[in-house]
Amino acid sequence: MKIYYNPKLKNLARYLRTHSTKAEIKLWNELRARKMLGYQFMRQKPIYNYIVDFYCSRLKLVIELDGDSHDGRERHDRDKDSNLTKMGIYVLRFTNDEVYGNMEGVLQAIEQWIGQNTK
């Protein structure tokens, strides 16, 4: 299935990239420049009617970080994940606390997912 790019979200995505959370910056430093097993990730990528935190088109993998701004938005996050999954995109979610307190575990989980879903 084709991944739909919503050009109406371009400016918001640009704004979010320049105003990233500390957790996003910390994880981005581990994903950028093909550091994750040679895969290229983009950040704040518009897909359909959403902006995802990190996206690897080759893997069709979204990585989302949930912080305080996600409190009370659990239904929205479930709907987002469901719609992305219907498009053939996989979603991994981590909390900001996991990034701050267990970055090694977060990176291992991403590496494990890649290992299990690639040939």
- What is the dihedral angle through the alpha carbons of 73, 26, 89, 13, rounded to the nearest 10 degrees? 70
- Domain positions in the chain: 7-117
Compute φ and ψ for 95, nearest 5 degrees. -90, 160
Of 3.40.960.10, 3.40.50.1370, 1.10.8.640, 3.30.70.520, the CATH number of 7-117 is 3.40.960.10
pLDDT digits over 53-107, tens only? 999 999 999 999 998 765 567 888 899 999 999 999 999 999 999 999 999 999 9
With a pLDDT cut of 70, the percent of the chain lying above it is: 94
